Amino acid sequence: MTEPIRNKKNIKALVRYFFAKGQYRNHALIVLGLYTALRISDLLGLRWDDVYDEETKEFREHLRVTERKTGKLKVIALNKQVYKALELLMKQRKSEFLFPNNRKKPAPLGRVQAWRIITEAAKALKFKGCIACHSLRKTFGYHAWKIGTSPVMLMDIFNHTSYAVTRRYLGVSQDERDAVYLKIRLY
């Protein structure tokens, strides 16, 4: 089961990994995955007109995505980190897709290739645990929970039916249990 990236230094390392190599597509994939909490299938289907208005030559304030799994419309505010990643990516723009594959026929990056990109970076950075595509979404939720985001809001963001599902999803229950075991001093 994939895990969130709990350590902020590891998140920064992952974001910088592709940036340092000039691989802005992969860099933007990581950044948007972390900051939008979208499932990888929704992320890979994004097109430039979802984030950029050609008429005004400006990035949109919100990303509007109809989730494939739920069929629900998500409206996501885009932050400064996302804009920076998109600006870099725009310099290498080759397709109508935000995350194009490297083939001649225009198509988005596939799920398997996205998985390889993320898992190979995690391996190169010597991350512990199972880090893959879904880890980006879980990382958003885990850190939102850690800064005090309401459980109801997290349930809404993830379209979960109960807080118990959200807690399990983020691995919060185990973290809370671990904290009790590690903090208690009986003598």
Q: Which amino acids are annotated catalytic?
A: 39, 69, 134, 137, 160, 169
Is 40 exposed, middle or buried, given 0-12, 13-18 or 19+ CB atoms closer than 10 A? buried
Alpha helix segments (H runs only) across the chain:
8-20, 24-36, 40-44, 48-51, 80-90, 111-124, 133-146, 151-158, 163-170, 172-183
Angle between helices 163-170 and 133-146 (to 10 degrees): 110
Buried b (16+ CB within 10 A) or exposed e, 79-114: eeebeebbebbeeeeeeebbbbbeeeeeebbeeeeb
Beta bridge partners of 165: none
